[in-house]
Amino acid sequence: MGGSFMETILLLREESERKAEARRAEDEQRRRDDVAAREARLLADKAEAKERRRQDELDMEERARRDCEEARVGTQELMLMTRAFTKKSLVELAMDCAGHAERSEALHFKF
């Protein structure tokens, strides 16, 4: 009976060691899975951040293009208004000069 008892103890010990090894293997697998999941989240976050930066750059380029176009249109409007004002001023100046010339001629005739 002593041998049978020792065999039972050894079998229980071996079973306990197998269970402990299985738990260690499960724990190690769980750690590897956690690391892999963390790395996958990190990569996904990096890809998302990269996409956000790319989209932000596109948005900034679009805003810059619109701002540039608005500035160009504003400059053209300003140039047209300046030309119109200058032409009007020249016409008014010419009319004033013509008016002075007529008055001057009228004054010359009186003398």
Position 29 scores a pLDDT of 98
Position 102 scores a pLDDT of 57
Q: Is the pTM of this model over 0.85?
A: no
Count CB-CB contacts under 10 A for residue 52.
10
Alpha-carbon distance of 89 to 95, in angstroms, equals 10
Total domains, the chain = 1
Alpha-carbon distance of 30 to 23, in angstroms, equals 10
Position 82 scores a pLDDT of 83
Position 111 scores a pLDDT of 47
- Enter the tokens of residue 76: 């053209």
Count Cα atoms within 13 angstroms, Cβ side, for 23. 6
Alpha-carbon distance of 94 to 77, in angstroms, equals 25
Structural domain boundaries, residue 67: 1-81
Position 101 scores a pLDDT of 56
Position 1 scores a pLDDT of 53
* 91 inside domain: no
* 10 inside domain: yes
- 11-25: pLDDT as tens digits: 999 999 999 999 999
DSSP character for 107? H
- 86-107: pLDDT as tens digits: 777 777 777 777 665 555 555 4
Of 35-39, 66-70, 84-88, least confident by mean pLDDT is 84-88
